[in-house]
Amino acid sequence: MALHYASASEGDEELNVNPLYVQLDEHPVPRDTMPRDGMLPDTALQLVRDELILDGNARLNLATFVTTWMEPQARWLMAECFDKNMIDKDEYPQTAELERRCVNILANLWHAPTVATTGAGGATGCSTTGSSEACMLGGMALLWRWRARQRAAGAPATAPNLVMGANVQVCWEKFCRYWQVEPRLVPMAPGRLHLTGPTAAARCDENTIGVVAVMGSTMDGSYEPVLQISQELDRLQASSGHDVPIHVDGASGGFVAPFLHPAVEWDFRVPRVASINTSGHKYGLVYPGVGWVVWRDASALPDDLVFNVNYLGGNMPTFALNFSRPGSQVAAQYYNFLRLGFHGYRRVQQASQDVAMYMSAQIAGMGPFELLTDGSELPVFAFRLRDPGNYTVFDLSERLREGGWLVPAYTFPADLQDMAVIRIVVRNGFSKNLADHFLRDLRTQTEVLAAHPGQTVPLLPEGTARGGFAH
């Protein structure tokens, strides 16, 4: 049934109420089928907005690594590029040029030899819909190169494996399942929360297509020691002949380490690093979703993975998994590079790290908690309860959610499944003022849970005020 819209001719009394909600109450809109008739744009807008107010507040989401704030100018620019198809490089050549520039900027930032030494614009890489797609491309290149090496040596290419820590993001497990690669996951251990050189090399053999090293573990924000892993692989090659490359999953750290930890050798300065991915929509400071993958040089990307199409108006090479996608995030990434520059990115990331380390120090001083990391690598830290007898981190996470805070509680992977933690991700836009509000609520809810173990209690103790801050 078509929606009814009041008009002045129906009587002035119709104007004394909100006509939108009167209409919607009289003529409910179906949820799972398309309505027979359309509606005015403002009506549709209000309907969708009403649905979305039930979502959590993204700015209070301390679980996500994804950017939740950008400058108005960047948002305007993205809106102007929503209708540009990134794949159609013949029709939108300047958008393609911005992508090329971004790839070269990242290659330079990560010391790719063909760019960092010559300043030339010939880096090998592309934008993607996010780091998951970028990881897939990096993994495929490792797999194809391993197959070529096996065939050249007259050896079978039927049982590939990939070595990585159990703390990797799920996209790597997907890669292994989709392409029938054995995942050799190195479990965690007390005092060792990520992959190390010795643990990686011990699992490599002639069928290892590569080792994945993570610059910024999702579990606790720590960096894996890429240089140490490379050195152990050097020793492995010297003793066994196995030449194993490294892919660096820099989903978050790729936009943090160059600015906050320039002395750490994790990128193409390490000779075994064949490729690096990162998320532009995480600490690259762009709204989702955009990722990037860069290879050391053109030889690291097998020709078999590059396709040429001419049905978009010109002969265009493509080596991404996804095809059509908007050019808006690429334009926003280039905007950030121009807007902030190297020193601007460093200031933004330093501000986030300062807040993270301030929060971790405050939490460590509260008493019930033990830090696993403190935010001194990624602006991310994890902590657990010293004595989880009366309540758990899951109880605490649930109570914080009632106040608007989205804070993840989870258990670590093998062999630390009995360790349950809370992780805090600090991003651009999460200020010290917001941090103080969170710390106050954390302290209050901890006290409530300690005083009422196993009981249903009010969100706040009776008579406790929120200090004027509404969640």
**401 and 438 together in one domain:** yes
C-alpha triplet 398, 217, 449: angle, nearest 5°: 20
Q: When comparing pLDDT for 262 and 416, which is higher?
A: 262
Q: Is the pLDDT of residue 388 over 70?
A: yes
Q: Is residue 354 part of a domain?
A: yes
Distance in angstroms (rounded) separating the CA atoms of residues 310 and 287: 31
Find the helix packing angle between 393-402 and 432-451, rounded to 10°: 120
- Counted domains in the chain: 2
Contact 369, 385 (CB under 8 A): yes
Q: Is residue 3 part of a domain?
A: no
The two structure tokens encoding residue 29: 């809109």
The mean pLDDT value for 410-433 works out to: 92
Q: How confident is the model at residue 335 (pLDDT cuts 50, 70, 90)?
A: very high
Distance in angstroms (rounded) separating the CA atoms of residues 280 and 127: 9
**161 and 31 together in one domain:** no
**pLDDT recorded at residue 321:** 77
Q: Is the pLDDT of residue 438 over 80?
A: yes
Each residue's pLDDT tens digit, 13-30: 554 555 667 666 666 788
Residue 313 structural domain: 66-471
**172 and 192 together in one domain:** yes
Q: Is residue 60 part of a domain?
A: no
Distance in angstroms (rounded) separating the CA atoms of residues 453 and 446: 10
119 Cα distance to chain centroid: 29
**26 and 102 together in one domain:** no
Residues in the chain, how many? Answer: 471
Selection from 68, 64, 166 nearest residue 380 by Cα: 64
Can you give the chain as a three-state secondary structure string?
A: CCCCCCCHHHCHHHHHCCHHHHHHHHCCCCCCCCCCCCCCHHHHHHHHHHHHCCCCCHHHECCCCCCCCCCHHHHHHHHHHCCCECCCCCCCHHHHHHHHHHHHHHHHHCCCHHHHCCCCCCCEEEEECCHHHHHHHHHHHHHHHHHHHHHHCCCCCCCCEEEEECCCCHHHHHHHHHCCCEEEEECCECCECCCCHHHHHCCCCCCEEEEEEEECCCCCCCECCHHHHHHHHHHHHHHHCCCCCEEEECCCHHHCHHHHCCCCCCCCCCCCEEEEEEECCCCCCCCCCCEEEEECCHHHCCHHHCEEECCCCCCEEECCCCCCCECHHHHHHHHHHHHHHHHHHHHHHHHHHHHHHHHHHHHHCCCCEEECCCCCCCCEEEEEECCCCCCCHHHHHHHHHHCCCECCEEECCCCCCCCEEEEEECCCCCCHHHHHHHHHHHHHHHHHHHHCCCCCCCCCCCCCCCCCCCC
Compute the mean pLDDT over every residue in the chain, rounded to the nearest whole number: 87
**pLDDT recorded at residue 19:** 63
Distance in angstroms (rounded) separating the CA atoms of residues 80 and 380: 33
The two structure tokens encoding residue 400: 């914080």
**pLDDT recorded at residue 460:** 46
**pLDDT recorded at residue 56:** 86
* CATH number reported for the structural domain that contains residue 333 in this entry: 3.40.640.10
The mean pLDDT value for 106-125 works out to: 79
**107 and 145 together in one domain:** yes
pTM of the model: 0.88
Q: Is residue 235 part of a domain?
A: yes
Q: Is residue 61 part of a domain?
A: no
Each residue's pLDDT tens digit, 40-93: 888 888 888 988 998 888 889 999 999 999 999 999 999 998 888 877 676 778
**372 and 266 together in one domain:** yes
- For tokens 């790290």, name the residue: 353
Q: Is residue 2 part of a domain?
A: no
Contact 87, 323 (CB under 8 A): yes
Distance in angstroms (rounded) separating the CA atoms of residues 356 and 365: 14
Q: Is the dihedral angle over the CA atoms 78, 81, 84, 89 positive or is it negative?
A: negative
Q: Is residue 463 part of a domain?
A: yes
Distance in angstroms (rounded) separating the CA atoms of residues 368 and 364: 8
Q: Which amino acid is at 324?
A: S
Contact 3, 27 (CB under 8 A): yes
Contact 93, 112 (CB under 8 A): no
**78 and 15 together in one domain:** no
Distance in angstroms (rounded) separating the CA atoms of residues 313 and 301: 25
**269 and 392 together in one domain:** yes
**48 and 86 together in one domain:** no
Q: Is the pLDDT of residue 1 over 60?
A: no
Q: Is residue 139 part of a domain?
A: yes
73, with CB counted inside 10 A (0-12, 13-18, 19+), is exposed
**25 and 93 together in one domain:** no
The two structure tokens encoding residue 313: 């108006």
Contact 203, 233 (CB under 8 A): no
Each residue's pLDDT tens digit, 186-210: 999 888 999 999 999 999 999 999 9
The mean pLDDT value for 267-274 works out to: 98
**209 and 305 together in one domain:** yes
Q: What percent of the chain has pLDDT over 90?
A: 66
**20 and 51 together in one domain:** yes
418 preceded by cis ω (within 30°)? no
The two structure tokens encoding residue 186: 């190195």
